[in-house]
Amino acid sequence: MSETRKLDLAWIALVLLSVGGAALGGGPDADMGVTVLIALVMGIKVRIVCDHYLELPTATRRIRQAMYAFCYGMPILVILTTAFGNTLAQMTGALI
Amino acid sequence: MPPAAENGAFCPQLFHAMPYATTLPASPPAAGRIPGSKAMWVGIFCEVTEFALMFAVYFIARAHHPEIFRAGPERLSLLAGTGYTLMLLTSGWCVARAVHAMRASRQRSSLRWLLGAFVFGLGYPVIKLFEVRWNLDHGLNGSAGVFIVTYYYLTFNHLIHVFWGLLGMIWVMLRTATGSYSAQEYSGLESFAVYWHATDIIWLMIFPLFYVLR
């Protein structure tokens, strides 16, 4: 498959995931399953941009690892904050 | 780059025999490189750090006010949020195609892709203008609660980064139009591209946090 074709397919995938992900917002209040799904969609979209547009697979190891850490850290934090929000609130009580 | 013999040495005979070519097959980037420039990556990691801190504020605020944050997305326009996402993704795709066209020595095509990227990128502040007006009409101002304040704080910061990106895009379009980039030297264009994609990534995180997650 040509490189331009891959870029085009990546864009189509991103658009479909974005529209599909937005549809999750139209539903009733989220339970943990929906939160995980939203985090998963976020992670997949960010990974597609990293791999196909930012070209991280060919980047130096440090850049690649730092960006992947940020990109995977966010969806994980979404899930953790939903699952352990009370604990986080207790830990940060002095801040607010 | 001058043509080289198989052992890597410069070969003048081959150089003179090579016909003038207006397009070249795009060569894939080498592994273990720095896409764009080091300076741009310093800027990108500053941007990532800045937003990481703001995301930390979001998560802490959400932990303290879960009900307000669960009800928050209903107050915002999902249509606007989806519109930003599609504009930025399409603009990012155009920029990626522009870089690819430059690698293939197709400068005119690269410029056309950049123009497309600019038009879609401009869609972001245009939607923002309508969304802010809509928000204010619905009472979503700076005193509308912790969710809206966090939302304005993060999204306006992102808007500033988009503005920088649009200014950078004008610059690389001018450079491309004047023939300053080639298939051998396009690090300026690529540096802009990585900045624009990084700004895309930040938005792909902001969008579900404020418009979707309940």
pLDDT at A93: 87
d(CA B194, CA A56): 10
Size of interface A-B (CB pairs under 8 A): 136
Express each pLDDT in B86-140 by its tens digit.
999 999 999 999 999 999 999 999 999 999 999 999 999 999 999 999 999 999 9
As given in the structure block, the two tokens for residue A60 are 């130096």
CA atoms of B88 and B84, how far apart (whole Å): 6
Confidence of residue B21 (pLDDT cuts 50, 70, 90): very low
pLDDT at B1: 41
Distance (Å, whole) CA A28 – CA B64: 22
pLDDT of residue B26: 63
Determine the pLDDT at residue B5: 43
What pLDDT, on the 0 to 100 scale, is given for residue A94?
81
Structural domain including A55 reads 3-83
Q: Flag if A58 and B45 touch (Cβ within 8 Å).
A: no
CA distances, B131 to each of B77, B137, B162 (Å)? 7, 10, 16
Residue-wise burial string across B38-50, b where 16 or more C-beta atoms lie within 10 A, e elsewhere: eebbebbbebbee
In a domain, A95, yes or no: no
End-to-end CA distance of chain A: 53
Flag whether A96 is in a domain.
Answer: no
Q: Say what the pLDDT of residue B80 is.
A: 97
Determine, yes or no, domain membership for A28. Answer: yes
The answer to whether residue A62 sits within a structural domain is yes
Structure tokens at B188: 């300026």
Residue type present at position B31 = A
In chain B, DSSP assigns E strands to none
Q: Fill in the DSSP letter of residue B20.
A: P
B212–A contact, CB cutoff 8 A: yes
d(CA B82, CA B211): 9
SS3 content of chain A, % helix, strand, coil (to 5): 85, 0, 15
pLDDT tens string, chain A, 96 residues long: the values are 788 999 999 999 999 999 999 988 656 566 888 999 999 999 999 999 999 999 999 999 999 999 999 999 999 999 999 999 999 999 998 876
**Please, which residues 22-81 of chain A have a Cβ atom closer than 8 Å to chain B?**
22, 24-26, 29-30, 34-35, 38-39, 41-42, 45-46, 49-50, 52-61, 63, 66-67, 70-71, 74, 77-78, 81
Query: What is residue B31's predicted lDDT score, i.e. its pLDDT?
Result: 78
pLDDT tens figures, B190-211:
999 999 999 999 999 999 999 9
Please report the pLDDT score of residue B16 as a whole number: 43
Count of domains for chain A: 1
The per-residue pLDDT for B11 is 45
Per-residue model confidence (pLDDT) at position B138: 96
Contact between B86 and A15 under an 8 Å Cβ cutoff? The reply is yes
pTM of the model: 0.89
Chain B partners of A22 at a C-beta cutoff of 8 Å?
Answer: 78, 81-82, 85, 211-212
Contact flag B86-A26 (C-beta cutoff 8 Å): no
In a domain, A91, yes or no: no
Residue A24, pLDDT score: 82
Q: How far apart are CA B174 and CA B160, in angstroms?
A: 22
CATH code for the domain defined by B35-212: 1.20.120.80
What integer pLDDT is reported at residue B198 of this predicted model?
Answer: 97
Give the DSSP letter string of B50-84. Answer: HHHHHHHHHHHHHHH-HHHHHHHHHHS-HHHHHHH
The predicted-structure confidence for B22-50, as pLDDT tens digits, reads as follows 455 566 677 789 999 999 999 999 999 99
Within 10 angstroms of residue B66's Cβ, the number of other Cβ atoms is: 15
pLDDT tens digit string along B133-190? 999 999 999 999 999 999 999 999 999 999 999 999 999 999 999 999 999 999 999 9
The helix/strand/coil state of A59 is: strand
Strand partners, B4: B10
User: Contact at 8 Å (CB) between B151 and B72?
Assistant: yes
Say if CB B181 and CB B104 are below 8 A apart. no
- The yes-or-no verdict on residue B14 having pLDDT over 60 is no
